[in-house]
Structure 1
Amino acid sequence: MEPAATPLPGDNDVTETLLLFRNELEREIERRARDEARAARPRGLRRLLPYLPLLPVLAVQSLLATRLMSGRSASVEEAADLFAGHMEIGHLLHGTTVSNYPTFFSGAPTLYPVAAALADAAHGLFGARCLSLLCMLLATAAVYKTGRRIYGVPTAVGAAALFSVLGPTLHLSSYATFDAPALCLLAWSLYYTVAFAHGDSRNALIYAIGFMVLADCVKYAVLLWNPLIVAMVAAAGPGMDAWKVTRSWNVQRFGLLAASVLGVALLAGREPYFTGLTRTAKLTVDSNLLRGSVLSEVDHWFGVLFVLALAGFLTLLPAARRDPAGFGPKAGAAGLLLCGGLIAPLYQLLINSNLSLDKQTDIGAVFAAVPAGWLLARIAQTARQPQALTAAVTAVFSLAVAVPMGIAGVSQATSLANAWPNSTQMISMLRPLVARGKQNYLVEDAAVAEYALGGKTVKWTQWHDTAGCTWSDGTTFLTGAAACSAAISANYYSIIVLDYAETPKLDAAIFPTISHSGYRLQGSYSVPTSLGTRTYSVWALVG
């Protein structure tokens, strides 16, 4: 066997010099590419021209959503989020004790609830709802940019127009819950994923990961769309060109991805947050709900858009075969976008539940609106016409489609907004009866009273919800209707408010106990809602 060749003196120096030269050459190539891309970008007002069609879409969405905001008291979900936010702010600033929100909230209580509470402190419930409107307008803008980056301006016009007039979109635009910011963050994560896949910016994936992880923390159910966001990296652009950057950048990128995943894992691993996350993953299943009911609701909220998206995907396949960039990028992106629209309906069918179905389908609409917009652009397009003309024709055609969809959307959003009864009269009856102290109050949907009367009038520990009744006499521990009846018999509550809707079986079980335990009816009134009339009854302990 011949001995190994001994490196000549200076070989290592030459190798190191070549590596340094190679790295310097790569950096110089990247710098020149960035300079060329920067020089090719339009400047001044020309940069705003592609976004002019978006402005009327946002204006119509703002107008329709603002009309839904006024004249409505806070719903139970809005009240719970806003009151939790005020309590969390008090805890952060003054160390006051708060309820264990992470165990039953469907998102991190220190994120959206705190931001909404700050808006509520500045401008009341209207200010908190305006925050949701801002988030949904940004989501529409993200849908527009996603459609524009993959298929062009005409598609972007149709996609944004269709998404903005959906009933759930208008509802979330006027509804102060964590759904709007979570949807907004996911929509921008999708856009930056597409931008990275097309090689627009090597930092785009960093933004996409950041928005995706933040959306997951704001609302845990958004985790359903994470695999699709990751798949879009490979399917939405020209292959692996976006990854051809320096090794150091790829190391940093993968390091950030690993750190983000680790952060979510640590958050989920904390016991209170893990409990809240698993509670969200296992949505409450209504044993009396048939799969046909889920399908009918999906058709009600999402049917027209899904048909347009499916038709857009099918008509895009032959067009993608003739695309110079290849069949994969456009067809693969359209297929994943269509799947994104189907995730929520399929999951709800799997667990046989319609809980929050309108909100979940609206997240899917962020994805499905793009192939639907491509269909409108394709129909409006004629042979060899300029893109500007195509965009204008698409805008007119989208208007013709969006107007009837918008009329239906306004009706749906109004029905969703009016599903919760106006609680003004109930609060006016409670206000003179409650005060800070050691007394306890049993209120169905207690979050509404908590938020309306505030922590300065009554401590949060004084409120008790019928859905969470517990009672212990030192020897036995009771829950549910038995616990409520035992507490009422012991005169533990000084005020009782029932609406016979959220926990009707429990209400019927404890009603005889109320009348035989020294409580007197203070008043009863009915409030019409889109789901029927709801009746409130208020009892006070005599003496």
Structure 2
Amino acid sequence: MSGRPRPPRWARDRTPDPQEYDETAAYGQYPAVEAYRQGGAPGAQTPSYADTGAYAHAGAAQAPVREYVSHPDAPYAPNPDFGTVEVRAWDPYAVGRRPQPFVPVHETQPTPVHGTPKAVVREPGYTLPAVPESAWSVSSRRGVLLGRVVLCLVLLVQAGLSLRLKGTAFVDEALYISAGGYQLEQWREGTPLPQDFAGYFSGHPKLYPVLAALVDERFGLGGVRLTSLAFMLAATALLYALTRRLFDIRSALGAAGLFSVLQSTMFLGNFATFDAAAVLLLALGAWAVVRTGSAHPLAVLLAAPPAALAFGVKYAAGLYLPTLVVLAVITAGRRPGLDRGTGAGRGAAGALGRGLLLGAGIAGLLALGYLYSEPLGGISGTTTGRAKGTDAPLDLLYASAEWGGLVFAAALGGSIAYALRARMVERPWIDGIAPGRARRIALGTLLTGTALLAPAYQIHLQSQISLFKHVGFGLLFAAPMAGLGLARLVGPHFRHPQLGILLYVSTLVFGMVQAQSGYSVADSAPMTAYLRTVVDGEGRYLADESEITTYYLRDRTDWGQWQNTFGMEYRPESGEPLAGPEAFAAAVRDARFDAIVLRGDIYPQNTDAAEKALKGNPHYRLTAVFPITTSFGTGSYRIWVKR
């Protein structure tokens, strides 16, 4: 019996189709078969119908090249003394289908049977890369570009959410811009300040107020608010950058996205006060601390100027300076290419020294600034020695949870997950190296715990004043852990995207409602337009919100012509000096003011005393009433003019 294997049953029983099994059309293009036909192999003979049928089912349209190799399972053996023909990717059951690509490991050339075949090793043409746990786990150039594109979309959403808030000037906005204008006049013309602004401002009066006044001179209140928006957008971008260096792009986008839809972020992005500038400087300081973690220890001093300036701009920012110092310790010495044992380069003592160096730099700059500045009574009056209020601790805790509870919960979950597992898709600091558990716990505790500083301090003061803004300061530091928590919630390969969407949308909805409610300011435009026809540069005027009237009517009146209802001392023509409600009542009875503007809900006791003195007073007549509506209810501006 011949050494040729028996053809398969389908090749023996099937009636041949000349079009399908035409040897010339099907096999003339294959070098191995053509060489065999022309006697390339010893003892070659024409292939039989069964042999050609076996080749036809390999697919004539894209048949692979055949070589003579020693392969005992080949479907056709023309000469047992020479070898067999190997059909690559041959599937006898895949009739008419294109064969799958096949890459042989060894390839041999036709060699006489008495010779030794020489194997030629060929490298594979394509190797599948290792599948990462997530497509975002490596900060490739494509991933970085995609992250920046998404960040731009986040910033556009943030800008739109802030710009949707509209209204006339708040009291604080009018006060700071007016104070900056008077400071500029003192520098330019030498005129004295109408009041000691440093004695009760919550930030240095020569920093942000001057900047706001310069912008207001050219672009008005809208320009100053756009400056605050630019500050908040830059803070979000810096938050993205530092979170990406701590973890990865996914966590960075989550941190930026959640922070951008907080009510405090929306509000401060269209609010012309100290706060937006202070948030930006804190973000810049935190980014500088993380960015210089693997650099020379002295590089951490780059974070000292923005940190010290943040305190000067807004004294409440000093509450977060210890966080920057401890962050400098935790992020010290993570150098690429070094393992955890040598990554610090200096050990625990070097990390501690880095933190002390930053603390000393900040303290030195603050001392230098205080030395060359006038007395700043506002530090104690508005921050360190602020008088205690009457708000209940539970009410303050509830308000804090309402304004930042979702992001804080996400940060808490991210801290726990980070402590339990070093990495899902994150690559902290360097490739392939994860920080130890102690470092992970310290980082999560520091950043998440910072969000509790403002609520805890204001619960101590029993005061809710500015709490809605200060909550955002702490959430700036908790946002990296919240972004990490969002990434862990979604899971690798975006396994549970609906959970991340739910968290983001919930934060967005709460933030929009809360920001709109808090930004509801009384429309003072009709009132100030009417007063423009009443006031002049000689009279004296009483107003609940004298800061607003001073700002809008600064071209017709001066600061000293206006008296608010916060407090006043008044000495009647005959009698002892008076203070409080009695002083206002006596001044109104004596017709000391040429016009009076009252709302009734700013300082109720003093306003009520003035209103009682106006009843039946022959010196004044009610000339205008302008209804107002805010989220806190309805009211009106009532204007009395001296007869």
Asked whether the 8 Å contact 2:540–2:562 carries over to 1, the reply is yes
Are 1:482 and 2:592 an aligned pair?
no
Structure 2 residue identity aligned to 1:96: T
Asked whether the 8 Å contact 2:225–2:269 carries over to 1, the reply is yes
From 292, 308, 311, give the equivalent of 2:394. Answer: 292
Asked whether the 8 Å contact 2:584–2:609 carries over to 1, the reply is no
Asked whether the 8 Å contact 2:151–2:253 carries over to 1, the reply is yes
Tell me which of the two structures has the higher relative contact order, counting C-alpha pairs closer than 8 angstroms and 6 or more residues apart.
1
Q: How does 1:403-482 map to 2 (within 5 A)?
A: 403-418=505-520, 420-437=521-538, 439-454=539-554, 456-473=555-572, 476-482=576-582
Task: Indicate the SS of the match to 2:435.
Answer: coil
Stretch moving more, 271-280 or 113-122? 271-280
Q: Classify 1:301/1:47 alpha carbon distance in 2 versus 1 (closer, same or farther; 3 Å).
A: closer
Task: Indicate the SS of the match to 1:537.
Answer: strand
Asked whether the 8 Å contact 1:195–1:201 carries over to 2, the reply is no
Stretch moving more, 256-265 or 325-334? 256-265
The Cα shift of 1:317 comes to: 1.1
From 401, 416, 423, give the equivalent of 1:314. Answer: 416
Query: Which whole-Å CA distance do the structure 2 matches of 1:336 and 1:362 have between them?
Result: 16
Q: Classify 1:394/1:85 alpha carbon distance in 2 versus 1 (closer, same or farther; 3 Å).
A: farther
The Cα shift of 1:195 comes to: 2.2
The Cα shift of 1:396 comes to: 8.0
The Cα shift of 1:333 comes to: 1.3
Match of 1:359 in 2: 469
Q: Classify 1:415/1:203 alpha carbon distance in 2 versus 1 (closer, same or farther; 3 Å).
A: farther
Asked whether the 8 Å contact 1:238–1:325 carries over to 2, the reply is no
Match of 2:103 in 1: none
Are 1:113 and 2:213 an aligned pair?
no
For these two proteins, the number of residue pairs brought into alignment is 482
Query: Which whole-Å CA distance do the structure 2 matches of 1:58 and 1:180 have between them?
Result: 15
Query: Which whole-Å CA distance do the structure 2 matches of 1:259 and 1:273 have between them?
Result: 22
Q: Classify 1:479/1:262 alpha carbon distance in 2 versus 1 (closer, same or farther; 3 Å).
A: farther
Match of 1:21 in 2: none
Task: Indicate the SS of the match to 1:68.
Answer: coil
The Cα shift of 1:370 comes to: 1.1
Asked whether the 8 Å contact 2:585–2:612 carries over to 1, the reply is no
The Cα shift of 1:320 comes to: 3.6
Are 1:503 and 2:603 an aligned pair?
yes
Asked whether the 8 Å contact 2:569–2:577 carries over to 1, the reply is yes
The Cα shift of 1:446 comes to: 0.5
TM-score when normalising by structure 2: 0.70
Asked whether the 8 Å contact 2:144–2:249 carries over to 1, the reply is no
Asked whether the 8 Å contact 1:524–1:535 carries over to 2, the reply is yes
Structure 1 residue identity aligned to 2:329: A
Task: Indicate the SS of the match to 1:493.
Answer: coil
Q: Classify 1:89/1:256 alpha carbon distance in 2 versus 1 (closer, same or farther; 3 Å).
A: farther
Q: Classify 1:201/1:397 alpha carbon distance in 2 versus 1 (closer, same or farther; 3 Å).
A: farther
| CA-atom RMSD in angstroms | 2.9
The Cα shift of 1:170 comes to: 0.4
Asked whether the 8 Å contact 2:169–2:221 carries over to 1, the reply is yes
Percent identity of paired positions between Structure 1 and Structure 2: 31
Match of 1:375 in 2: 485
Query: Which whole-Å CA distance do the structure 1 matches of 2:610 and 2:333 have between them?
Result: 65
TM-score when normalising by structure 1: 0.82
Asked whether the 8 Å contact 2:328–2:358 carries over to 1, the reply is no
Q: Classify 1:259/1:154 alpha carbon distance in 2 versus 1 (closer, same or farther; 3 Å).
A: closer
Stretch moving more, 255-264 or 186-195? 255-264
Task: Indicate the SS of the match to 1:421.
Answer: coil
The Cα shift of 1:205 comes to: 1.8
Query: Which whole-Å CA distance do the structure 2 matches of 1:321 and 1:163 have between them?
Result: 23
From 303, 313, 337, give the equivalent of 2:405. Answer: 303
Q: Classify 1:312/1:129 alpha carbon distance in 2 versus 1 (closer, same or farther; 3 Å).
A: same
Query: Which whole-Å CA distance do the structure 1 matches of 2:497 and 2:183 have between them?
Result: 45
The Cα shift of 1:444 comes to: 0.6
Task: Indicate the SS of the match to 1:520.
Answer: strand
Asked whether the 8 Å contact 1:206–1:253 carries over to 2, the reply is no
Match of 2:14 in 1: none
Q: Classify 1:324/1:167 alpha carbon distance in 2 versus 1 (closer, same or farther; 3 Å).
A: closer
From 449, 457, 468, give the equivalent of 1:347. Answer: 457
Match of 1:66 in 2: 163
Are 1:194 and 2:287 an aligned pair?
no
Query: Which whole-Å CA distance do the structure 1 matches of 2:304 and 2:192 have between them?
Result: 34
Query: Which whole-Å CA distance do the structure 1 matches of 2:394 and 2:327 have between them?
Result: 32
Asked whether the 8 Å contact 1:158–1:395 carries over to 2, the reply is no
